[in-house]
Amino acid sequence: MSLRFQPKIDTKTGQVFSAEVLIRWYEPKKHGWVAPDHFIPIAECDGQIIAIGRWVISQSCKTLKYWADNHIGVRALAINLSARQLKDDPEWIDYMLECLTINGLESSQLMFELTETYLIDDFSACEQQLVRLRELGFKLLIDDFGVGYSSLGYLSKLPVDGVKLDKSLITNIESSLAMQSMVRNITRMSHDLNLKVIAEGVETAFQCELIKKLGCDYIQGYYYCKPLEQDDFCRYLDHLNSQGVQ
């Protein structure tokens, strides 16, 4: 297993404010690189997601320490959480706190992304953990927002700090006034509720400009860069610092 990092760009400053951690698996005998969409659901079924999830947390903390020691200008990472981690690994928060301490990090340096469907379906089962995470100073984001439930009413009830608009809202946004209106309204409502909005899957300059006009706070997507290995990520930051992001 290895990790990739995809930058999230602040639309106001043009700077990288954090990165999403995305796992990769290389199986040398038969399959080669296996996409997480394929192996994460299997790992969720057979329980291996618990060990994988802990490994992602520990590696992410080591990476943040390495970046701090080497003056790499990104101090926060967003980690994807699987429903099963919260359900079947009740001590994962303590494990994560230990990783933070070992590496001299603060809770403000980790964010967690949880899918919309899970947050709604299993809210009562995970509410205590989510409340504890926020009390400890971690940020929570609703992932893939806009595909599962169209009702926005529950947004005000969930203990979260922001929403990540699903790629499907962005893909055809240039040609769809309906999508533009949805993104504008989700963004307005989220801001009224003091939530940040991240657009993911932004692939073109046109989409990027539109997303900025519609008021989103952060942008992630191939337009800026694909998920990168650690060394390439650091080189990308160097390149941005020398060129400036648009």
Q: Binding of ligand C2E at residue 80 (CB under 6 A)?
A: yes
CB closer to Ca ion, 118 vs 236: 118
| Interface characters, 89-108, with Ca ion (x: CB under 5 A) | --------------------
Cα separation, 163 vs 141, whole angstroms = 5
CB closer to Ca ion, 56 vs 61: 56
CB closer to ligand C2E, 228 vs 234: 228
Interface with ligand C2E in residues 167-186 (CB under 6 A): 167
Q: Minimal distance in Å, beta carbon 152 to ligand C2E?
A: 20
Q: How many residues bind ligand C2E (CB under 6 A)?
A: 22
CB closer to ligand C2E, 14 vs 188: 14
Interface with Ca ion in residues 66-85 (CB under 5 A): 80
Q: Which of 5, 17, 83, 143 binds Ca ion (CB under 5 A)?
A: 143
- Scanning 24-32, 65-73, 141-149, 176-184 for contacts with Ca ion by CB under 5 A, the matching segment is 141-149
